[in-house]
Amino acid sequence: MNSDIMCAALILPLLAALPAYGQTAVPAGSSTDTAAAPAQPAEPSAPVPPEVNGLQSYFDTWDQRTAYARATQPNWSSPLVTTTSMLEQRFRFETDFQHSGNDTDTIDIDGGKGIDLIVGDTEELQIALPPYYVRTAESEKLALTGWSDWSVARLKQRLLSSPADQGDYILSAWLQVGVPVGISKLTSHAITLSPTLGFGKGWGPFVIQGTIGGQIPTTYEGKLGNQIVGNLSFQYNIFHYLWPDIEVNWTNYQGGPRAGLSQVFITPSIAVAHIPITHATNLTLAVGYQVAVAPTYQAKPLTPAYDRAWILSTRINF
């Protein structure tokens, strides 16, 4: 009897220590609630802006700043005509082939594009190239070759943004400054300011981007007049790289030779976007055909500014 009691005293504690069928043993010092709960995947860490201490640190953290700006906004393709609200770091070059109702053909080389740099966590600076015009016409008075006025710089401030896996939206404001460096037939003789508010919202592969702004001459305002400019882009993403797009481009003239008139263009286009070149760079190619739909052609003042145009765009993002 004593031996049975001794065996039971040894075996029962061992049986009590074993887990029941289908359960996992709990390590010493752990609670049963923690052991029973399934493992939770680690949440991705939110992007963190780089710390900057001095000029050298500013340049040393340039890539981190660019990565932070891109991670905290949508990843759409920029429309062909409508300026995007996204912060971009790239070199952009365009050529427009325009045909006007007065039978002139104009090649606009570069169209005022250039280099865009992400200079802050929510800021972008564009330094543009001056546009060069080559216009052919039967009349020598209409033909010309030379530089046009230069939209030399643009500073963009991103106000609100959210990446695609959250709200997929953006709101930005910017100011562009133009200087009168063009030849006599192309210059306005006035420094111009172009304040603009831009926005965008995505719903899966469908994206709307738009702008509303003005063009204000700082001198000769009575002669030149002001302009209200609006653009709206409707994009759809196909197979990650393809971005077909239809844009509406509108200009209303307040004062000046075209006072009271508005011109409207429709621009269908397609972009092949974000083609990898290296680990740090990618390429976007876009082509579009712009058609004036309003007003009916009138020669004096020439409205719309041109009747139709092919637009070719190349962008190297870095």
Beta bridge partner(s), residue 94 = 313
CA distance 265 to 294: 7
Burial class (CB in 10 A: 0-12, 13-18, 19+), 57: exposed
Given pLDDT bands bounded at 50, 70 and 90, which one contains residue 16?
very low
Q: Say which CATH class 55-317 falls into.
A: mainly beta
Degrees to nearest 5, angle at CA 91 with 87 and 95: 115
Please say whether the beta carbons of 114 and 91 come within 8 A. yes
Residues 222-249: tens digit of each pLDDT: 999 999 999 999 999 999 999 999 999 9
Given pLDDT bands bounded at 50, 70 and 90, which one contains residue 51?
confident
DSSP 25-67: PPPTT--HHHHHSPPPPPPPPPP-PPP--SHHHHHHTHHHHHH
Per-residue confidence (pLDDT) for residue 46, from 0 to 100: 77
The pTM score is 0.83
Which tokens sit at 172? 């930005």
Give start and end residues of each alpha helix (H) in 61-175.
Answer: 62-71
Please say whether the beta carbons of 200 and 210 come within 8 A. yes
Per-residue confidence (pLDDT) for residue 5, from 0 to 100: 41
Question: Is residue 85 pLDDT above 50, yes or no?
Answer: yes
Residues 261-302: tens digit of each pLDDT: 999 999 999 999 999 999 999 999 999 999 999 999 999 999
* 303: Cβ contacts below 8 Å, ≥ 6 apart: 258, 261, 263, 295, 297
CA distance 47 to 50: 9
Please say whether the beta carbons of 301 and 82 come within 8 A. no
SS3 label, residue 137: coil
> Does 24 or 305 have the greater pLDDT score?
305
